[in-house]
Amino acid sequence: MTRSTVLRAGRSFLPAVLVLASAEFTATASQAQLCLYAMGSGGHFSEAAAQSGSITAWGGTFGVYDNFVPLGPVQLGGDGRLFVQNSGNSTPYNNKLLGALVGLRLALHAPALPFRPYIQAEVGGVGTNNGDSSSRTASVAYQVQGGVDVTLFPHLDLRGEYGAGQAS
């Protein structure tokens, strides 16, 4: 119920104060909520051991993060993500990358800044078919990402991110 609804309904001042107080609590607590994200992404995968070439694929990354330990303007949290990337080539199978990563996240939330920089390190698994099979080979992977979140509207951010890692 919004403040204007409370006042138009002829309620007393106390419920209006409680509604405003809960709205303020929600806004403050929302910085510690799980945040979902989806973004376009690209990946480059090379097989160093086999010397068989490399693939660059494009697709999407979908994930969730939570900055659950606030330490002043610094926030420690976690991130989990799934990425699905494909690249067409001359084989009937195309190039495919599929992976999932989880790890720790360190973010800076300074109210004076219009953006929030972060860095995170993650481990997980990745699979690729290298364009030569319908099935994927699986590998353990790690990745370090850094980026910024810029608030466009309440609950809607624009994210720029770069990451580098390796699969074994």
Residue 22 corresponds to which tokens in the numbers above? 């809960």
Average pLDDT, the chain: 75
State mean pLDDT over 82-90: 81
User: How many CA atoms, within 13 angstroms, populate the side-chain half-sphere of residue 8?
Assistant: 5
Radius of gyration over alpha carbons of the chain, in Å? 22
CA distance 155 to 125: 30
pTM (two decimals): 0.71
Q: Identify any residues that bridge with 101 across adjacent strands, giving them in sequence order.
A: 81, 124
Lay out the sheet containing 74-87: strands in order across. Answer: 35-46, 54-71, 74-87, 95-108, 115-128, 137-153, 156-167
C-alpha 93/C-alpha 145 separation (Å) is 29
What is the per-residue pLDDT across 19-36, written as a single tens digit (0 to 9) for each?
A: 333 233 333 444 557 899
> For residue 65, is pLDDT > 60?
yes
Beta bridge partners of 98: 84, 127
Q: How far apart are CA 126 and CA 136, in angstroms?
A: 9
Q: How far apart are CA 128 and CA 3, in angstroms?
A: 53
Under the banding of pLDDT at 50, 70 and 90, the label for residue 48 is low
Query: What are the pLDDT digits (tens) for 113-153?
Result: 889 999 999 999 988 876 666 777 888 999 999 999 998 88
CA distance 92 to 28: 52
